[in-house]
Structure 1
């Protein structure tokens, strides 16, 4: 079968299309003929070497894949044969014509939801749902969503008012992505490519404050935003660090104004994300969560897809399509 092999950590060019042996399902596993493979921002970080890679290279790369279950391993539910699913792969094996995963890593795609949409919404939605639940919105809050034009931020922007936000202020990179954030439900949008955007936010708020920040940027920006959080109740939920470093927020910073910071990471958090996958697809099937699709590229162009993401040239999810898959 064709697959994309990561030769080593480094630039996008380390992702190379090759012929490899077909995987076979072992006990408790299923085999999926892939149709749509989402290219995810965290994959670019792992490929680049920003985080330690979990196994020796070369290896077939990829976090997720969607398609049809064609083989069932011993002990896996035989009813899954023929089902359309989106599967998580723990970072290995997803960029391939066939993907083998433990059955519990697969989420069945509801009838009426197309496979590309399921692949595009799964990661963003399944992270956004536990973030919104953790925020405990009551119907009165003003929230700030960073990187709101795609991925987790795009899902948060779409769902925030459904979960109780009264006003959604968003950030996005440039005019095109700003327009997308407004289409997704943001009441106001700031351009986070402007290094002074936190000051622009303060000016836009006037005498008002932000109740909840969904922090995807981290770094020093997180600290600058503490000044606009509502005293004695404002909360920041940190789930990413697009700046390259975690939020630079100390206990002393928070105590001074009675604020809270919640780090949304670690095994327990990932368990909540996994538990939200089925609900994410249900929301997508009803139209409550819309896909943010950027483009569909051949599987062999995985390196080009990574390059586009790193250049911030996309406003949505890129899907890789195996050569023989039906779109």
Structure 2
């Protein structure tokens, strides 16, 4: 079968198309014939070496794939044979024509939802629902969504607006600002502008922010601390597009009565995994609308990574075996 092998850590060029042995499902596993493979932003961090890769190299890369269950290992529910699913691998191996995964890691795709839509939506949708469950956004609250144009940010914008919150989004450039407004943002600030935090303060007109969904990390939160609602302001930090987690101290939070929830680690990933069926259900009923930016042939995985890292994608990037 064709697969994408990560030969070493480094730039996109370390992802190489090779022939590989077709995996066999072990006990409790399924074998999925992949039809759509999402390219996930955290995967670019793993490939670059910023996050550790969970296996010796070289190895088949990738962490999720959507397709049809072709084989079952011992002890697996027979009803899964032939089912359309999104499989989440326990470590790696998803950038391939066939993917072995634990049966309890697969999410069945609802009728009426295409395989591509499911592949595009599962990760951002499940993270979004876990974030909203932790944040408890209420009607009338003011919410700041960083990177509100695509992926998790776009879903947060849509669902917070639907919950009756006033949503202020940040986005990089006019095209992404337009998308953030289409997703329901009431105001959009360009976070690439040097004075973006001053623009944000002006747009608040004396009001404060109740919830911040932080995907930028670094020092982006520091100038916002005094415009977050004292005593009940909540910060949920789930990404670091700037290259580092949020640089805040306990003193920064305690003196203002703020809380910061770090959305990372094993327990957090378990919360996200539990939201996978609900995420696809939200797409099926129209509450979430996945947008596919580009579908690359599997052999062009390196180019797909470049598109994500260059911030050119205005939606999900998929690979097609």
TM-score by length of 2: 0.98
Query: How many corresponding residue pairs?
Result: 321
1:319 pairs with 2:310: no
Query: Structure 1: which 5+ runs fail to align?
Result: 323-327
Preserved contact between residue 191 and residue 197 of structure 1 (Cα < 8 Å): yes
Name the structure 2 match of 1:88. Answer: 88
Query: Stretches of 4+ moved more than 3 A in 1?
Result: none
Name the structure 1 match of 2:58. Answer: 58
Name the structure 1 match of 2:43. Answer: 43
Q: Distance in 1 between matches of 2:303 and 2:117?
A: 21
DSSP 3-state at the match of 2:161:
coil
Q: Distance in 2 between matches of 1:91 and 1:294?
A: 26
Preserved contact between residue 69 and residue 80 of structure 1 (Cα < 8 Å): yes
DSSP 3-state at the match of 1:219:
coil
Name the structure 2 match of 1:73. Answer: 73
Cα deviation, residue 176, structure 1: 0.8
For residues 1-327 of structure 1, the aligned pairs below 5 Å read: 1-162=1-162, 164-322=163-321
Preserved contact between residue 124 and residue 154 of structure 1 (Cα < 8 Å): no
Q: Distance in 1 between matches of 2:159 and 2:125?
A: 9
DSSP 3-state at the match of 2:128:
helix
Indicate the RMSD between aligned Cα atoms, in angstroms.
1.0
DSSP 3-state at the match of 1:221:
coil
Preserved contact between residue 142 and residue 165 of structure 1 (Cα < 8 Å): no
For residues 65-106 of structure 1, the C-alpha deviation after alignment (integer angstroms, 9 at most, x for no partner) is 000001000011111000000011144111000000000110
Query: Structure 2: which 5+ runs fail to align?
Result: none
Preserved contact between residue 172 and residue 190 of structure 1 (Cα < 8 Å): yes
Q: Distance in 1 between matches of 2:218 and 2:154?
A: 21
Evaluate the alpha carbon distance shift between residue 238 and residue 208 of structure 1 in structure 2; reply closer, same or farther with a 3 A threshold. Answer: same
For residues 4-36 of structure 1, the C-alpha deviation after alignment (integer angstroms, 9 at most, x for no partner) is 000000000000111100000000000000000
Cα deviation, residue 161, structure 1: 2.8
Name the structure 2 match of 1:325. Answer: none
Cα deviation, residue 195, structure 1: 2.8
For residues 251-273 of structure 1, the C-alpha deviation after alignment (integer angstroms, 9 at most, x for no partner) is 11111111111111111111110
Cα deviation, residue 232, structure 1: 1.5
For residues 167-188 of structure 1, the C-alpha deviation after alignment (integer angstroms, 9 at most, x for no partner) is 0110111111111111111111
DSSP 3-state at the match of 2:166:
strand
